[in-house]
Chain A
Amino acid sequence: RKEVEQDPGPFNVPEGATVAFNCTYSNSASQSFFWYRQDCRKEPKLLMSVYSSGNEDGRFTAQLNRASQYISLLIRDSKLSDSATYLCVARMTTDSWGKLQFGAGTQVVVTP
């Protein structure tokens, strides 16, 4: 079983609409969580960290549910430029280093 599981999608979203998707993690020892964005055939880049209280960065909102062991990402007012694969990432420790577990990604396609 993969440690971080994501719906691969694609999620087809009309421009301006809202899209949300989750990822689940299996290791309850996971402490830190992140969303990375990966454009087609490009390198992943950090989109945002996910905090226990939930956090927002512009049109992006991330939530963490430790009881059910899932993380969510919501994108409001989708732009064509939001089309990408979103990678969910879990880290097992809050120490200065802990191995990252990457999900396989959820593809989002924003259409005009």
Chain B
Amino acid sequence: DADVTQTPRNRITKTGKRIMLECSQTKGHDRMYWYRQDPGLGLQLIYYSFDVKDINKGEISDGYSVSRQAQAKFSLSLESAIPNQTALYFCATSDRTSSTDTQYFGPGTRLTVL
């Protein structure tokens, strides 16, 4: 079984709809992240969380919100989806004791907003 899972894997929605992307991990890591990837751009950090009570904005948090329901679960919400939020979304985890802070990514969610 995959250590980091994301649901759904693909989603097509309409402008204005509320969307939730979910991420679960079995790695036991305390740190979790949400990134988006657009063609020609590097991965951009949306939000990150170092533990259940810690939520931080990344570089492109506008239009997004997150919830850390448990150490193993970190969900991303688009309150009112817009077409320029069409992208590939990755959840990632890392271990705070790692000197390299290696990111372990989920398989991604391909979101299309019409």
Contact = CB atoms under 8 A, between A and B. Distances in A.
Interface of A: 2, 4, 8, 32, 34, 36, 41-46, 49, 87, 91, 96-105
Given A42-B108, A43-B108, A97-B96, A8 B40 contact: yes
Interface residues of B, number: 22
Closest 3 CB pairs of A and B: A102-B42, A43-B105, A102-B43
Contacts of A41: 108
B101 A98 contact: yes
B105 A34 contact: no
B105 A91 contact: no
Nearest to A96: B96
B103 to A, nearest CB: 7
Q: Interface of chain B, helix or strand or loop or mixed?
A: loop
A46 B101 contact: no
Contacts of B97: 96
Contacts of A43: 90, 105-108
Contacts of A36: 103
B41 interface: yes
B52 interface: no
B87 interface: no
A50 B8 CA distance: 34
Contact of B45 (A2, A45, A99): A99
B42 A104 contact: yes
A77 B71 CA distance: 42
Nearest to A48: B100
A32 B106 CA distance: 23
B42 A2 contact: yes
Given A42-B107, A43-B108, A97-B31, A49 B45 contact: no
B102 interface: yes
Interface in B64-114: 90, 96-97, 99-103, 105-108
